Amino acid sequence: MKSQLVWLALLAIVSRLITLLLVQTPPEALQRLGGFLVLVKNYNAAFSINWPVWIFWPLTVGIICYVISQASGLWQKKDSDFFAWSLIAIGAVNNIIDRLHYGAVIDYIRLGWWPVFNLNDSMVVIGVGLLLLKQVKHKEKSKIINDSEKNNRQPAKNICTLYLVRHGETEGNAARRVQGQTDTPLTVKGLDQAREVAATFKDLSFSAIYSSDLLRAHRTAEVIKLDRELEVRTSKLLRERAYGSLEGKSIAEYRLFADEHLLRIEGLNEEQRWHYKKALDIESDQELVSRLMIYLREIALAHRGQTVLVVSHSGAMRLFLQRLKYLPEVFSKPGTLANCGYIELESDGITFEIIKVIGQKEPR
C-alpha cells in the first residue's frame, strides 16, 4: 500500500508540473517536438470531444464523493480498488484545478488517431480499466470455482438440494405411445442414458434416493445409484400423469383427442386451465403438480442440509417448472425435456429455487 501511495503522489505532482511547464512554453518550442505535444484549452467534457460540459461536473463530483465515502473500506481492502479509484480521483481533481485556474482543461498529448488529451485523462481511463478488469477476473474466478465445486456443493443447513431426474428412454417412448401410469421397460438406449447421468452425478454425495414406483423410473434410479449404499424409496406421488383410457394409445391419437379441448381451454383463465380435466379418468394439471410439489416439500424438510436424488417423469417435471414460471412458454409443450434430463433445485421445504435445467429439447 505504501508503494501505491508513493506512485499516486508522484503522478499527481508530475501531472501538475507538466501542465505548469507547458502553459509557459512557447508554441514554437512545442512544434520542435514533432507535434507530439500541443497546447489545447479544452472547454468540453473530456478528450477535447464536443460533449456537453454539464456531463463533466456531476460525474466528477460523484466520483470524488464516492472515493471519500469509501476511503476507509478501500484502504482496508489493500487491493487494486484503492489504487484504481485514487487514479480516477487524482485525474478528476487535476482537471478541476485546470478549469478553476485556467477556465478550461489543459490538454497536451496528441496522437494522430485520437483526440488531444492529458495525463489526467489517462489516469481516469486507467483507473476505470483496472476496475473493469477486476470485475472480469472476479467473474472468471467465480465461474471456475462454481464449475469445480458444483458437484460438491454443501447445501445450507436448512436447504435441501434436489436433483430431479426424468427416467431413461422406454419402449413406450420409442414407439411414440402414451404411457402415463402404464409401465414399459427401459430400452438399451434408456439404460445408456441412465449410465451417462450416473457418471455426471458420480461425485455427488446423495443422502437419499427417491423414485416413482413405476418400473422405468425405479430402474433409472438403481442405475444412477451405482455403488452407493442407499435404498431407493418409491412413491406413487412421483408418478407420471394418469391418462386413463388413453394410456397405450399413440401420441398422434392423443393429440387428436387433445385438440378437441383446445377451444374450451382457450376460453379459461390461467387458474381454470390448471384445474381443467380433459376426461374424468385423466388427472388435471393441478392434481399432478400438487402431489409432486407436496412430496418434494416433504423430502426437503426431511433432508435439510443434504443432497437428494429424485427420479420422476417428464409430464410431472414440466408442469413443476411451469408452476414455478420457469420458461413456461418452453416447457408447456410435451417432449421438451429429454430422457434423463434433470432439474437441479433447492428447497427449504416451502419454496423452490431452480438452479438449472439440463436436457431441454425441441418437441417432436
CA–CA separation, 307 vs 292, rounded Å? 18
CA–CA separation, 157 vs 300, rounded Å? 11
Catalytic residue among 140, 218, 229, 240: 240
Amino acid at 263: L
DSSP conformation letters of 222-260: HHHHTT----EEEEGGGPPPP-GGGTTSBHHHHHHHHHT
Paired strand residues for 42: 105
Among candidate residues 320, 324, 355, the one with its CA nearest the CA of residue 337: 320
CB 160 within 8 A of CB 306: yes
Whether 266 is catalytic is no
Q: Give the CA distances from residue 83 to residues 1, 65, 119, in Å, rounded to whole numbers and listed in that order.
A: 9, 16, 16
- φ and ψ at residue 162, rounded to 5 degrees: -115, 135
Q: Judging by DSSP bridges, how do beta strands 206-212 and 232-235 pair with one another?
A: parallel
Whether 167 is catalytic is yes
Catalytic residue among 167, 283, 303, 346: 167
Torsion angle of the four alpha carbons 140, 141, 146, 152, in this order, in degrees rounded to the nearest 10: 150
With a CB cutoff of 8 Å and minimum separation 6, the contacts of 118 are: 15, 18, 19, 95, 105, 106, 107, 108, 109
Q: Quickly tell me which residue has 480516477 as its cell.
A: 88
Active site residues: 167, 240
